[in-house]
Structure 1
Amino acid sequence: MSDSPTTVVSDAHFLEAPRWHEGRIWFSDFYGYRVSSARADGSDLRVEAEVPGQPSGLGWLPDGRLLVVAMTERRVLRREPDGTLVTHADLSPYAKGLANDMCVDAQGRAYVGNFGFDLMAGAPIEPTSLHRVDPDGAVTEVADDLWFPNGSAITADGVLLVVETFGDRVSAFDLTDDGRLINRRVWAEFGPLPTDRSLEKTLPALTVAGDGACLDAEGALWIADATGSRLIRVTEGGTITDEIRPGTPVYACGLGGADGRTLYACAAPDFHDEARKAATEARLLAIRVDVPAA
């Protein structure tokens, strides 16, 4: 494994949700208000969708249509074949904070997290819920008491893993045939749950401030540690098998490339909205790893 990152995309505001799809790396730029894609090396960069509601999580329906989380509007958008964006689901009656990351299963059901509180205003931390959006746009709460549900992934044997940023853990749920989440348990625990709801006290005390994540072919989870400026590879039970320190804070990661062995990481100096809106210092990094994508 090489821990020397290469910059493949630069001059962005704040990148999230890197996804390898149909031979290209896709990603959202929060404050560039667009979803873009590029070839594996960052060339042939193109805008896939303009999202004034601040794009985050990405996924695809079985028929190939793109789904995008619009954070500030608390909606999931769907890109139609002619390129237009329409509302796929309205989460505003359900989400207690900005809508955030998302993963989509093989049936086209999207599992969408939300902040649960006003992060950028420094409000007290509050647990929140995870919602399922069915292919017809119906919204159902499927889990609660999650401490900032963030990156998520579905294993080959039908387990949904959810990284809880302020919970210092990864939770696991068995996915039923009808999309329910059962048998909740802790998949990896890095530290205790917060006892203080203050953001300024809790954030620096986290062992792993898990943000975006992705699975590899051995069932391990790569996690971007938002406060540790590192990418960690974690196995069930919480063992960290590998650590990459790219020399910058990282907030999301995704495996891709022709052989699935390129770990893409979203890097930026910090996550503060006003600072990131005012600058284009974010980059998409590429790092070679040994185990390919799931």
Structure 2
Amino acid sequence: MTLATLLTGGSFFEGPRWHQGHWWVSDFYRGTVSQVSTSGEETVVLEVPTQPSGSGRLPDGSLVVVSMTDQRLLRWDGSELATYAALAPYCGGLLNDLVVDAAGHVFVGDFGFDLMGGGTPGPASLKRVDPDGSITVVAEDLLFPNGMVITDDGSTLLVGETFGNRYTAFGLAVDGSLSNRRVWAEFGPVPTGGTLDELLGQLVVAPDGCTGDAEGHVWVADAVGGRAVRVAPGGAVVEEVRAPDGLGVYACALGGDDGRTLLLCCAPDFLEHNRRPVREAVLLTTEVTVPHAGRP
């Protein structure tokens, strides 16, 4: 596949989404949420100095975005940015990625431990924020829950576990309740060990940001492999897009007018002390055959 450069000059791009003819993307260390045209023109829409990440759209069209370091969800209605949910009491680490279902339930995970500070890796929970503002822990013992996909029929929530070598699936009901927890894709044994380095060395695919397609597959940013892979149910890798030498891939999204443009968020690594002072992150695109489906 041929890769084209859409945008340069980021610190660490994450949470890419396609919405109404534009890409939307967060940049951790610039503290921005931007709209990016298909020709690569960036417009900063929001400033979130507490580190923005995943985002989604509520049924009324407003944007909800993760504020990582203070563990809040923010809501932007087009003019005002306000706290939508305060999740610190439910988190063991930085708040991370999210997905919103058709009824407006927001599912969001956290790191589970102090990743950048050298903390001991541990499990994390998945939280659901309902339209009335109530917060419920809907799943526990997830190994770094990260990017998520809701299937096109709305019946299944897929959660990537970065340090679990897997995707976990849940049945998703209209009221936002989850059931029938199971492994949807398994890339290798569950890693063991008490340090980040030990875990990283055992990862076959480290699911990060992801996006679903119309054949029920998931394009996955492999945070340790320098690539995005298209994964079939069960875990078989059926396609692969490799980043240029020296870059990792940390999130991806399908979009474009026909849903067949795959956007990759790339940077040399994911370490805050390396990424914060420089502007080496890039957005790359390529074309795929099967279009986007599902959420986000």
TM-score category of the 2 structures, normalised to the smaller one: over 0.9
Which of 176, 185, 188 pairs up with 1:188?
A: 185
CA distance in 2, matches of 1:238, 1:39: 33
Return 5+ residue gaps in structure 1 as ranges: none
d(CA) in 2 for partners of 1:271 and 1:102?
Answer: 19
- Which residue does the alignment assign to 1:17? 15
Distance (Å, rounded) in 1 between the aligned partners of 2:169 and 2:273: 34
Alignment partner of 2:90: what SS?
A: coil
Q: Matches of 1:123 and 1:289 in 2, distance apart?
A: 39
Tell me how far 1:204 sits from its aligned partner: 2.1
1:131 aligns with 2:127: yes
Mapped partners of 1:167, 1:64: distance in 2: 33
- 1:4-83 equivalent positions in 2, closer than 5 A: 4-43=2-41, 45-81=42-78, 83=79
How far apart are the structure 2 equivalents of 1:64 and 1:287?
Answer: 28
1:211 aligns with 2:208: yes
Q: Distance in 1 between matches of 2:45 and 2:133?
A: 22
Q: Distance in 2 between matches of 1:246 and 1:54?
A: 25
Show structure 2 runs of 5+ residues with no match.
Answer: none
In structure 1, what is the Cα distance between the partners aligned to 2:288 and 2:243? 13
Which residue of 77, 85, 89 corresponds with 2:81?
85
TM-score (structure 1 length as normaliser): 0.97
Q: Which amino acid aligns with 2:89?
A: P
- 2:165 is aligned with 1:197: no
- The match for 1:268 is 267
Alpha-carbon displacement from aligned partner over 1:208-260 (angstroms, at most 9, x marks no partner): 11111000111100000011001100011111110111222100000001111
Contact 1:30 1:55 in 2 (8 A): yes
From 104, 113, 120, give the equivalent of 2:116. Answer: 120
Write out per-residue CA displacement over residues 139-192 of structure 1, whole angstroms, 9 at most, x where no aligned residue.
100001100000001002310000000000000000012111100000000011
Secondary structure at 2:89's aligned position in 1? coil
Residues 18, 255 of structure 2: 8 Å contact kept:
yes
User: Secondary structure at 1:205's aligned position in 2?
Assistant: coil
In 2, the alpha carbon distance for the partners of 1:39 and 1:236 equals: 32
Partner of 2:286: 287
CA distance in 2: counterparts of 1:67 and 1:186, whole angstroms = 28
CA distance in 1, matches of 2:238, 2:257: 24
Distance 1:25 1:219 in 2: 22
What count of residue pairs does the alignment treat as equivalent?
A: 290
One-letter code aligned to 1:266: C
Please show how residues 243-262 of structure 1 align to structure 2 within 5 Å: 243-247=240-244, 248-262=247-261
Residue 53 of structure 1 aligns to a residue whose secondary structure is coil
Partners in 1 of 2:76 and 2:196 — Cα distance?
Answer: 36
Rounded to whole Å, the distance in 2 between the matches of 1:29 and 1:230 is: 20
Within-5 A mapping of 1:87-236? 87-157=83-153, 158-236=155-233
* Letter in structure 2 aligned against 1:260: G
Counterpart residue identity of residue 37, structure 1: Q
TM-score (norm 2): 0.96
Counterpart-to-counterpart distance in 1, 2:224 and 2:206: 6
Shift in Å, 1:93: 0.8
Q: Structure 1 counterpart of 2:222, which letter?
A: D
Letter in 2 for 1:21: H
Map Cα deviations across residues 86-143 of structure 1 (whole Å, 9 max, x no partner).
0000001111110000000111111001000000012111011000011222110000
